[in-house]
Amino acid sequence: MTDRIELLEVALDSFPDGIALFDVEDAVVAWNLAAEAITGYAGTDLLMHPVPRPLETLLEGNRLAQFQAGAKVVTKLGALVRVRHNLGHEVPVMARTLVLRDGLGGRIGTAVVFHPAESLDALPHGDTGEDGEVAQSQADLEDRLNTEFEDWIRGGQPFGVMWVEVDQAPELRRTHGAGACHAMLEKVGHALAQGLRPAEEIGRWGQDQFLIISHERTAEMLAAHAKTLAGLARTADFRWWGDRVSLTVSIGAAQAIGGHDETLAQLLESARKAMEASICGGGNSVTSAPGGHTCLPL
């Protein structure tokens, strides 16, 4: 008869996902071949040792995806975390953490299932170019997006996003250079921030783009709010070498809707397509997803 431990090892190694099992002290008791391939750490070097510091972020999924006896996993995708590969580079992964309990409800360990983020629905965003500040803003917003979206899945407050592109940015960058464009984007970002609700957040999502996380209750309210913000962007007083540049924005608004099997990446993609529809319509407008069909010219 096949040894039960050998059978378990073969079963775990057959999965394309990284799978790690930890005891109550967070020592590694199982580490499959996919986990080795993703992280560069061999299971033979980890077994019965505490999880190495570069991999500790895998256990952060506890706060987003817990498992209790008889309960359902509250998320399909888990949390976006970054682990440090054995060779030193950073690897973004989507990690789902399950707390393992005995028949009496006591915690006996933890299981983590993880994929490289690029093998899942990686979050769409704008091109950062050479701007490290924009790249950092994207990373910060991704953390907030995942947290807010998971909260919505669990029945928390409504969740929606607005993808904003400044219509004049590409031309200004071409004619006046990156410095002028950067100064203009700061003006627009400040103007948009003045109109945000207390719980909303804005950040750079691309060279010429912003992303706003919102909690309007309906898609219609989100679109109306986006229209107000677009009006504020037009009031931004931007001057370059004495010349006043008139500013407008194109906005795509997408609201997470209960009962739909929609991922965060799909929601963002809906917002991007809606924003692109606003641009194609001549700019200075708000388009509401799904389908990018409800365009509100300003």
Query: How much is the pTM?
Result: 0.61
Residue 78: predicted pLDDT:
59
Residue 294: predicted pLDDT:
46
The rounded distance, in Å, linking the Cα atoms of 122 and 92 is 10
Look up tokens 């209750």; give the residue: 217
Residue 130: predicted pLDDT:
67
Q: Which residues of 34-72 are buried (b: 16+ CB within 10 A; e: fewer)?
A: bbbebbbbebeebeeeebeebbebbbbbbebbebeeeee
**Segment 265-277, tens digit of pLDDT:** 889 999 999 999 9
Residues above pLDDT 70, as percent of the chain: 86
Which architecture does CATH list for 132-297? 2-Layer Sandwich (3.30)
pLDDT less than 70: residues of the chain: 1-2, 60-79, 118-122, 130, 258-261, 291-298
Please list the residues that pair with 98 across neighbouring strands.
Answer: 111
Residue 176: predicted pLDDT:
85
The rounded distance, in Å, linking the Cα atoms of 162 and 228 is 12
**Segment 111-146, tens digit of pLDDT:** 999 888 764 446 788 877 767 788 888 888 988 998
The rounded distance, in Å, linking the Cα atoms of 85 and 72 is 31
* Angle between helices 169-176 and 178-193 in degrees, nearest 10: 150
Q: What is the CATH number of domain 4-117?
A: 3.30.450.20
Domain boundaries, the chain: 4-117, 132-297
Residue 99: predicted pLDDT:
87
DSSP the chain: ---HHHHHHHHHHT-SSEEEEE-TT-BEEEE-HHHHHHH---HHHHBTSBPPGGGGGGGGGGGT----TTPPPS-SS-EEEEEE-TTS-EEEEEEEEEEEE-TTS-EEEEEEEEEEGGGS-PPP----TT-HHHHHHHHHHHHHHHHHHHHHHTT-S--EEEEEEETTHHHHHHHH-HHHHHHHHHHHHHHHHTT--TT-EEEEEETTEEEEEE--SSHHHHHHHHHHHHHHHHT--EEETTEEE---EEEEEEE--TT----HHHHHHHHHHHHHHHHHTTSSEEEETTTT-EEEE-
